[in-house]
């Protein structure tokens, strides 16, 4: 799956090395879903993260992904992130856009 920030005043810088995934909804904490890799071309596509699950995620299941940021942005506000899911094997590598998630972030400014 890919999580990509929609245009905003400031781009969020993710700390992808501390990412986690869990089965269940928003406050899920167990069981954990192992991640095969987490990354992205931060210099090329800032605000974008690609997550590869170690095992298949069943259709119609709910997964919570936690990706910390290095630091809160300077500007407080609502930040939107588009989520696209990809099948294991697709002839054309096209993903399914699932929609936007909104996060309220508090800035570092005084």
pLDDT tens-digit profile, the chain (110 residues): 999 998 887 888 888 888 899 888 877 667 888 898 888 655 567 788 989 999 888 888 888 888 888 877 888 888 899 999 988 776 667 888 999 998 887 766 54
Task: Report the distance separating Cα 90 and Cα 101, nearest Å.
Answer: 25
What pLDDT, on the 0 to 100 scale, is given for residue 44?
65
What pLDDT, on the 0 to 100 scale, is given for residue 58?
84
Q: The whole model's pTM is what?
A: 0.81
């Amino acid at each position: 799956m890919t999580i990509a920030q929609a245009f905003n005043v400031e781009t969020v810088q993710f700390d992808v090395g501390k990412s986690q995934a869990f089965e269940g909804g928003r406050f899920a904490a167990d069981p954990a879903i192992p991640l095969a890799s987490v990354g992205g071309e931060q210099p090329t596509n800032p605000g974008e993260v690609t997550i590869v699950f170690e095992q298949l995620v069943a259709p119609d299941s709910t997964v919570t992904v936690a990706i910390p940021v290095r630091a809160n942005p300077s500007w407080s506000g609502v930040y939107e992130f588009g989520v696209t899911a990809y099948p294991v094997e697709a002839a054309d590598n096209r993903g399914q856009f699932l929609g936007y998630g909104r996060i309220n972030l508090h800035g570092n400014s005084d």
